[in-house]
Structure 1
């Protein structure tokens, strides 16, 4: 989206009557409306979509399972991105100014990093959960219990919050870049610089878990194919109830793994441009144009809005839960015991 400025136009500032104000890069009125609509839609979808996911899983007893508790916690991280990060980033992206104060700028940056890593941790634990469920479906309920799920959820929140707070509040991210940070520290700006060491740590923290997830899901689908062939051969020879049960369990776990695999792929596609851009930027002297940086940021933010759409496409229980919640039937005393589908995830 091009800026509507000309060489002869007067320089606009974020705060016209304040010394040391950042320079404002205004968009045309039409461009601003379009940008607000695109960014606003993502924020609204992230908030209400993930709120529906959390409400559905926590309200309906049928959905109370270790995997679903992890999904609800993941939805909580995405919900918080929609509440605490996206609306303020939207104003900054469109107005090219930060109007919410320096203190909240630091909070905003911490929230951004923490909730991103929280999503990554959740997805990593979910991939481990799915690997155990598919490779050993009959023993899985005794291995991945609600207690284990709660431990995974605790780790997925405590470590990212501690890490992001420690890095940004101690100023470790700016070590060696004090001069650049001072130059960017104008009134109406909110741009945290991260030195090469921390950018490399951030990239590896994204790349290594992502690689592990790719390996796990690759193994999951290989095992799933073997199971499908084995069950097909077995069912042609015998029709015992035991084999029928194994077939249903294996089919259910493969379907869940497929859907959550799509969630992981969506996460990687969304966050990879930002991760690569941050790495290149730090080692090439921060040369990325502002509009490229904003595109990468919003690709990552939009991931928080994508997961509810994926669940709505692939999970019949989620579609039915939405109908119950939106229609108001969720307020009935018996709604928590409602059967959402013939086959739970």
Structure 2
């Protein structure tokens, strides 16, 4: 399931005593070591920098060349937006959480952070589904694609990805599922075992269904490509196997026959 942990959250508030600037009393010596914290901080910072650089570069390309924003690339832009928001709004707290034993947010902000993390992750997954269907229609039905995938429909699909992501990520705030603070690892995460029904719904709509849709779309694209190749390949083979007129004349000339 996407993003089961964010570096710091909670919803069983009756079980965990929340306060701003929470300090853990029991720390694993391995995780709390200074060297380990520095390594984690450097790695997460590197990921943030690379993600920020890549997303901003692509965003600048779209900004400088708006003619690239056709329907298919709007889906790419939406995926970029989800990744960029994840990088800017969530990942800095992941860096802060590498400081052993300290989490700077209170319970409500911690819960909001986990919801945002899952919101952006689910938005990315849902957008990838839309991209898969879009590529299927463009390749399998190229003639009807422009009339099917209109800019208006593309905009509605993008809105649907965010609405669905919101519905997937917010139930723990209303009691269906739970968000709790992990004292051992100094992270906040969804407690999937607190609601098996919520876990089943999330796993179905955020993992299994997207996998089946993507595999189905790309498998049909692959089959179409193979059929097209099977139609083209014999023609190419025949054209390569036909002798040139000059070769036929050379072999049929009297001089060539005398040489035989």
TM-score by length of 2: 0.71
Q: Which residue of 2 aligns with 1:30?
A: 35
Find 2:191's aligned residue among 179, 189, 193.
193
Task: Give deviations 1:37-80, integer Å, cap 9, x for gaps.
Answer: 11111112222211222232243134121110000001100111
Q: Which residue of 2 aligns with 1:342?
A: none
Q: Matches of 1:68 and 1:170 in 2, distance apart?
A: 35
* 1:111 pairs with 2:116: yes
The runs of 5 or more residues in structure 1 that have no matched partner are 1-14, 239-345
C-alpha spacing 1:236/1:132, structure 2 compared with 1 (3 Å):
farther
Secondary structure at the aligned position of 2:104 is classed as coil
Task: Give deviations 1:207-255, integer Å, cap 9, x for gaps.
Answer: 11211111211111121222233345567899xxxxxxxxxxxxxxxxx
Q: Matches of 1:189 and 1:34 in 2, distance apart?
A: 17
Secondary structure at the aligned position of 1:172 is classed as coil
Bigger CA radius of gyration? 2
Task: Give deviations 1:112-144, integer Å, cap 9, x for gaps.
Answer: 111111111100010000001111223222221
Secondary structure at the aligned position of 1:190 is classed as strand
Q: Which residue of 2 aligns with 1:320?
A: none
Task: Give deviations 1:258-280, integer Å, cap 9, x for gaps.
Answer: xxxxxxxxxxxxxxxxxxxxxxx
Q: Which residue of 1 aligns with 2:61?
A: 56
Secondary structure at the aligned position of 1:160 is classed as helix
Q: Which residue of 2 aligns with 1:170?
A: 174
Q: Matches of 2:162 and 2:59 in 1, distance apart?
A: 16
Which structure has greater helix proportion?
Answer: 1
Give the superposed CA RMSD: 3.0
C-alpha spacing 1:147/1:135, structure 2 compared with 1 (3 Å):
same
* 1:145 pairs with 2:143: no
Task: Give deviations 1:280-314, integer Å, cap 9, x for gaps.
Answer: xxxxxxxxxxxxxxxxxxxxxxxxxxxxxxxxxxx
Q: Matches of 1:149 and 1:97 in 2, distance apart?
A: 44
Find 1:157's aligned residue among 159, 162, 168.
162
Which structure has greater strand proportion?
Answer: 2
Q: Matches of 2:187 and 2:142 in 1, distance apart?
A: 52
The runs of 5 or more residues in structure 2 that have no matched partner are 1-17, 240-260
Task: Give deviations 1:83-121, integer Å, cap 9, x for gaps.
Answer: 112221233255354222222211111011111111111
Number of equivalent positions: 214
Q: Which residue of 2 aligns with 1:275?
A: none
Q: Is the 8 A contact 1:24 1:97 kept in 2?
A: no
Q: Which residue of 2 aligns with 1:90?
A: 95
Q: Which has the higher contact order (CA 8 A, sep 6+)?
A: 2
TM-score by length of 1: 0.55
Q: Matches of 2:27 and 2:43 in 1, distance apart?
A: 21
